[in-house]
Amino acid sequence: MSLTETSTLMAEYITLAHRQFIVAENLSLRLPPGKVTAIVGPNGCGKSTLLNGLARIHALRDGSVLLDGKDIHRLPSKEVARKLALLPQDNTAPEGLTVADLVRFGRQPHQGWMAQWSKEDQQAFDQAIQAADVAELAGRALDTLSGGQRQRAWIAMAVAQQTPLLLLDEPTSALDLGHQIEVFELIRALSGQGKTIAMVVHDLASACRYADHMVAMKNGTIIEEGAPAEIVSPELVQELYGVSCDLIHDPATGSPLLVNVRRNR
Partner 1 sequence: MLNALSPTSVVASRAFFPPLLAAGFLLLLVVLASLLYGAGPVSARDAMAALMANGTEEAWFVVTELRLPRTIIALVTGLALGLAGALLQSMTRNPLAEPGLLGVSAGSGFAVALAILLGATTATLTTLVAQLGALAGCALVIAATRVQGLGNDPVRLVLAGATLTGLLLALTSMLMLMDQRAADEIRFWITGSVAGKPLSILWATLPSITLALVLIAIAARPLAAMALGEKAAVGLGHHPGRIRFLITFTVALLVGSATALAGPLIFVGLVVPFIARAFSGPDIRKTLWLCVPVGPAVVLGADVVSRLIAAPAEMPLGVITALIGAPVLLAIVRAGRMPSL
Comparing CB distances to partner 1, the nearer of 27 and 85 is 85
Residue of 41, 46, 63, 109 interacting with partner 1 (CB under 8 A): 109
In what helix (H) or strand (E) does residue 36 lie, and over which residues does it extend? strand 36-40
Terminal C-alpha separation, the chain: 52
CB 164 within 8 A of CB 194: yes
Candidates 156, 38, 51; CA nearest to 106 is 156
Beta carbon of residue 234, minimum distance to partner 1 (angstroms, whole number): 36
91 interacts with partner 1 by CB under 8 A: yes
Beta carbon of residue 105, minimum distance to partner 1 (angstroms, whole number): 6
241 interacts with partner 1 by CB under 8 A: no
90 interacts with partner 1 by CB under 8 A: yes
In sequence order, what E strands does 90-220 have? 165-169, 196-200, 213-218
93 interacts with partner 1 by CB under 8 A: yes
259 interacts with partner 1 by CB under 8 A: no
Those residues whose C-beta lies under 8 Å from the C-beta of residue 70, and which sit 6 or more positions away, are none
Judging by beta carbons within 10 Å of its beta carbon (0-12, 13-18, 19+), is residue 88 exposed, middle or buried?
A: middle
116 interacts with partner 1 by CB under 8 A: yes
Strands ordered across the beta sheet of 60-67: 21-30, 9-18, 60-67, 70-71
251 interacts with partner 1 by CB under 8 A: no
37 interacts with partner 1 by CB under 8 A: no
The contact set with partner 1 (CB under 8 A) reads: 52, 55-57, 76-82, 85-88, 90-98, 100-102, 104-106, 108-109, 111, 113-114, 116-117, 121-122, 125-126, 129, 135, 138-140, 158, 161
